[in-house]
Amino acid sequence: MLLYCEVDIMSKIGVSTARKTKYKPASNNPFQGPTAVSFNYNRPPFPPAFRTFDSDPSRLVKNSILSFNIERVGGVNRYGDNSTLGMRIGEGQLLTEETGINLVFGVNNNAALASTDGIASIDVQVLGAKDAPLPCLGPAAGPDPLREAVAGVFTKAAAATIEVLLRDGDNFSFNLQQAVEATGAAPEEATGTLYITPEIQEALREPGSTYELTFLVTILFNSSVTDGPVSLEARFRLQLFNTE
């Protein structure tokens, strides 16, 4: 069952407050709170891509953030359930394929980072109607080609190849497009940008109609100061509504 949080001022679904774990390098993990993902258009000034609502479609809120819990590989230090995350998006009938959408991941970190530390891998798969794979991830410049699944990396060394510096002890953020480009893929071939494809638009033509996007996200975080990597797995759904 998909669960939604009631919100007033901002739309933050999943973990409403940061889970500040006590940092123990031998047994804990480098995350000092939930990882989060936000959705922004990939053209300046990078405005929020969606307007969300809780129980009342007339109360739309700019921008949306999903927060994910963390777990150690092997099942130690697991926090919460990442399979019930969801977001309700209003004005779905206004979304088009003209501008790509960045999935921006924020990572909490308070450790020194070796060259191989950071996001060792991120895998994202998108499902559409009837949970069928949906090709809607394309290059930053436009929706061609489109794929339903992509893989990326954002370690300190990999980020440096696209001229991003990850500093010791600092939180950092990256978007899925950057993570795919950091694998060495050419920008015109790196398909890490979300597009609202004609299939989605067609399903949202009538007032009251809906379309559901499901994202399967798996992240592996390397840290040389712990005794093993940290895994993060999440399944979240974006319910798009025609709220005319």
- pLDDT tens track for 146-173: 999 999 999 999 999 999 999 988 888 9
pLDDT in tens, 86-112: 899 999 999 999 999 999 998 877 778
Plot region of 14 (φ>0 → left; ψ -120 to 50 → alpha; else → beta): left
Quote the pLDDT of residue 7: 27
Q: What's the DSSP call for residue 95? A: -
* pLDDT value at residue 130: 93
Q: How confident is the model at residue 83, as a pLDDT?
A: 78
pLDDT at 33: 58
Q: Which residue has the higher pLDDT, 128 or 18?
A: 128
Q: What ranges do the domains of the chain cover?
A: 29-241
- Write down the mean pLDDT value for the chain: 82
Q: Compute the half-sphere exposure of residue 221: CA atoms within 13 Å on the CB side of its CA.
A: 25
The pairs formed by 181-188 with CB atoms below 8 angstroms and a separation of 24 or more are: 181/152, 182/152, 182/153, 182/154, 182/158, 183/151, 183/152, 183/153, 183/158, 187/139, 187/140, 187/141, 188/139, 188/141
The rounded Cα 119 to chain-centroid distance in angstroms is 13
User: Contact at 8 Å (CB) between 123 and 232?
Assistant: no
- Could you read off the pLDDT of 15-50 as tens digits, one per residue? 333 344 444 444 444 545 567 889 999 999 999 999
